[in-house]
Amino acid sequence: MAQIVFTDAFHSVNGTDLSAYVKGGALDISRAMLDDTVMGDSAQSNAAGIQQWSLSVDYKQDYASGGPHQTIFALDGAAAFTVIIQPTNAAESTTNPKFTGSAVLQSYNPVSGRHGDLLMCRAQYACAGLLTADTTP
């Protein structure tokens, strides 16, 4: 089993490649757990419900065109858009799935930091569509 040193992820928001600004991120995927425990069960039983996912990304902030701020702030309150996150910036494969989903912008902090810091920002994306894992280039 190959490990990955997380150095070369691909990430795009609404068609804009923001990979070069990403410091880190987290993609959380889950299913609603529906309690279908009935008489006769000696343990709780759960059935998987609908998919739920969220993506949180920390960026190195840049206010220039094509950077995080102008890309993300324009999506405040906007209709759903496509977000993509992929472990390695290379062709999709079974070992390098491209996670793609339709999302809305849940939160974004355009200014956040202490004097002397490298200015950073964080965006939180909430699901508005099914997240898929594309493994076929």
Partner 1 sequence: MGQLVFQNAKIFFAGANLQTDLNQVDVNTARAMLNATVFGDTFLRNRAGIAIVNASIAGFWNAGTNPDKPYPTLFDNLGSDDKLLSVFPTTIEEGSTTNKGLAFNATQSRFNLRGRHGDLLGFDAAFTGRGQRLLEVTCLKDASVNMETASQNWTAFNVGAVTASQYLYAGLHVLEHQGTSPTLDVTIQSDSAIGFPSPTTRITFTQATTRGGQYATRVAGAITDTWWRASWTLGGSASPGFKFLVWLAVMGA
Q: Centre a 10 Å sphere on the Cβ of residue 132 and count the other Cβ atoms it contains.
A: 12
Q: Please report whether residue 112 would count as binding partner 1 according to CB under 8 A.
A: yes
Looking up tokens 């912008």 gives: 105
Q: How far is the CB of 123 from partner 1 (least distance, A)?
A: 10
Q: Are 125 and 106 in contact (CB under 8 A)?
A: yes
Q: Please report whether residue 52 would count as binding partner 1 according to CB under 8 A.
A: yes
Q: Please report whether residue 109 would count as binding partner 1 according to CB under 8 A.
A: yes
First to last CA, the chain: 21
Nearer to partner 1, 10 or 108 (CB): 108
Binding residue (CB under 8 A) for partner 1 from 57, 67, 84, 86:
67
Q: Please report whether residue 5 would count as binding partner 1 according to CB under 8 A.
A: no
7-46 mask for partner 1 (x: CB under 8 A)?
A: -------------xx----------x--------------
Q: Which stretch binds partner 1 (CB under 8 A): 9-17, 35-43, 88-96, 111-119?
A: 111-119
Question: How many angstroms separate the Cα of 98 from the Cα of each of 55, 62, 117, 119?
Answer: 14, 25, 32, 28
| Sign, CA torsion 124/104/6/97 | positive
